[in-house]
Structure 1
């Protein structure tokens, strides 16, 4: 059991991690996950929607394209600025607000729908963030998530990096949010009609080496892992990532097509 003080320290480090590199470059690749989730939720124009741990605004922008009244919340100001720029470029009226997924700056039942796409799953206190996610949705409203699966490519990526740079002790793995039993445990009786659909997102790169280089430069958690290692161990981690991408690669033309399993989650607030 990790103390609240310990979780606060982990959260502060996470903020710096997500602000490092260029998460917007990674978010741009996985934007189709948000479009898929929002379409599956079958929103009504004018619905009040919040995208929690919005990052650079993928799900917020997808919902705004459905002419919803959208707010995006994240605790990394640098990512919010990117989200604002994206929304403005598309002339979409999204409001971006700084806030913590474990203590949302939102009223009880304020929204008709709440989404989080590979966002809330990284909050250190899973129970608290699940409670907040459900708290801000009205009775009968929609909760939607997309979470990396424990047994998929990204789940294996986290374990691969963790063998070189261990995660903080006492914190549950983010990919537990990709497990239906854990989702049912976290949501409890606050939701009904929980639907968990397994999907694959396919990363596409010029080669497995290109994947390793891209994630080393752009993806904050991987970048920070490399920064924590000396040159020799950094080379070993790079080789680990190339090997991982090679094992999951389904392309036969020398490029890389890497399916990464995730779960698309929809539920109705009780």
Structure 2
């Protein structure tokens, strides 16, 4: 399976659940990215991998002229509905982070909150983020840590998942400062900030029910497995989160990295 077939499948996978219910579980990351970009009224901002528009919505509330792009048509339709419900004028497009459908240097700010990291061709994504950002423009990217947190959840799912296409980058590579510098440092003057968006819940079972119904990759994976294998995944997932039980329920630290850049040239 090549990248194009992989992305075609991913465009469906990510839209299989009501993803709009998930961003409340990583609000600190979304708020951090929005603060880091510091968009102002009238500024042209692009949110890549916008999902259902949680970050785009935050940016639009500042008065910025926001465009959100995502590979999954179902997520874009939800984002449009949510923007209309709030009376926000946000442009939403279905598109590929590896081939952004915009002119060069057409945005004052470019963002992504754990969205573009899932595109398989990291070099292409980095090239496109730089291409559409004007000289002197700003970049703010939110990425899950490559050391612990969400990466550990994916390790639980990994034995049950099909292999990615050869040459595909891992989304968690973006959680390394050195990796981001290698991909973006030539085009952006970068600095970094850290934060945490913990996963909480009353129990490991509650977290499983959330992800297996709302989060496209987990929901699609669970639905594709035979009953015995699905139960094995459920038990592994629940046991993993029960390992983070506290006196008030489950509390799993999920560290993240924010890359903040100014476009060179």
Per the TM superposition, whether the score is higher than 0.5 is yes
- 168, 178, 190: which is aligned to 2:187? 190
- 149, 173, 178: which is aligned to 2:175? 178
Q: Is the 2:29–2:256 contact (alpha carbons within 8 Å) kept by the matching residues of 1?
A: no
Cα shift at 1:165 = 1.9
1:136 counterpart residue number: 132
- 197, 201, 221: which is aligned to 1:225? 221
1:252 counterpart residue number: 247
SS at match of 1:105: coil
Counterparts of 1:95-110 in structure 2 under 5 Å? 95-110=91-106
Provide the C-alpha distance between the structure 1 equivalents of 2:18 and 2:201, rounded to a whole number of angstroms.
Answer: 17
Once the two structures are overlaid, the 10-residue window that deviates more, 33-42 or 234-243, is: 33-42
Provide the C-alpha distance between the structure 2 equivalents of 1:85 and 1:134, rounded to a whole number of angstroms.
Answer: 30
Q: Is the 2:29–2:196 contact (alpha carbons within 8 Å) kept by the matching residues of 1?
A: no
Aligned pairs, number = 263
Task: Note the residue ranges of structure 2 that are not aligned, 5 or more in a row.
Answer: none
Cα shift at 1:43 = 2.2
1:266 counterpart residue number: 260
2:7 is aligned with 1:11:
yes
Provide the C-alpha distance between the structure 2 equivalents of 1:258 and 1:165, rounded to a whole number of angstroms.
Answer: 22
SS at match of 1:211: helix
Q: 4+ residue runs of structure 1 moved beyond 3 angstroms?
A: none
- 58, 62, 74: which is aligned to 1:62? 58
Q: Is the 2:47–2:69 contact (alpha carbons within 8 Å) kept by the matching residues of 1?
A: yes
Residues 82 and 268 of structure 1: CA distance in aligned 2, closer, same or farther (over 3 Å): same
